[in-house]
Amino acid sequence: MSEQNLWQKFIWFSERAILMIIAIATLFATGIELVRMISSQTVNLSDLFLLFIYAEVLGGDLNSGGQRKEGSMTAPNAEAVQRCICEALTNSGINSDAIDVINGHLTATSKDVLEIENWTKALNRKGSDFPYINSLKSMVGHCLAAAGSIECVATILQLSEQFICPNINCEDVHSEILDLIDEEKIPKTLLKRELNIAIKASFGFGDVNGCVIFKKYSE
């Protein structure tokens, strides 16, 4: 079997694994809500809508670095990235210290150090004060044009189910990253934590940036 066929099979299985996780999480959340409604013996129209609410979208931002300064088709303009994060916080009406977890763009390339540096500067948090950070790409690879959407789903599920997914194959963290944040903020195994607010960013092809902030849903 050729390397290309193996890669296609890997992508096929990864897509279906993600869909299976989403389906299981949906059924689990639906079951919990049905038990609650049966126990209280009341069913309102609002209850039916709440079966499908996993998180709130507080706000976000989109911009482009214009492929200027160090920005290019495949590399980010650091100034634009930091501005995107800061504007997302402003649009959401929260301070950076409210962020519990970051789902970064992080592609396991030489630009990961720059991304972490951009996060520390935009949030004004570093070392042990830095939020937990992870990358779904460590588990499913880079889904290209679908990456942002799929990783948003993963971020929302972490809030809904109160866990932080691990960064797998990340045993040897770049020393320059460890100069910026504590290694414990890069979880290697699944963590159960109380989470309220998560931030998801994609800094993609063409020096285009997107950042969205989610909040755990509560009635």
To the nearest 10°, report the CA torsion of 10, 101, 152, 45: 130
Q: Judge if 22 and 130 occupy the same domain.
A: no
**CATH number of the domain encompassing residue 205:** 3.40.47.10
Q: Give this prediction's pTM.
A: 0.77
DSSP string, 64-94: E-TT-TT--SSS--HHHHHHHHHHHHHHHT-
pLDDT tens-digit map of 156-211: 999 999 999 999 999 899 999 999 999 999 999 999 999 999 999 999 788 899 99
Indicate the number of domains in the chain: 2
- Band (pLDDT 50/70/90 cuts) for residue 44 is low
**CA–CA dist 189, 164 (Å, integer):** 9
pLDDT digits (tens, 9 = 90+) for 121-130: 999 999 999 9
pLDDT tens-digit map of 148-171: 999 999 999 999 999 999 999 998
Q: Same domain, yes or no, for 34 and 127?
A: no
Helical residues (DSSP H) of 111-191, grouped into ranges: 112-123, 137-140, 147-161, 175-178
Residues 201, 74, 130, CA angle at the centre, nearest 5°?
Answer: 35
* Range(s) of the domain holding residue 189: 55-216
Is residue 11 domain-shared with residue 88, that is, in the same domain?
no
Asked if pLDDT for residue 47 goes beyond 70, the answer is no
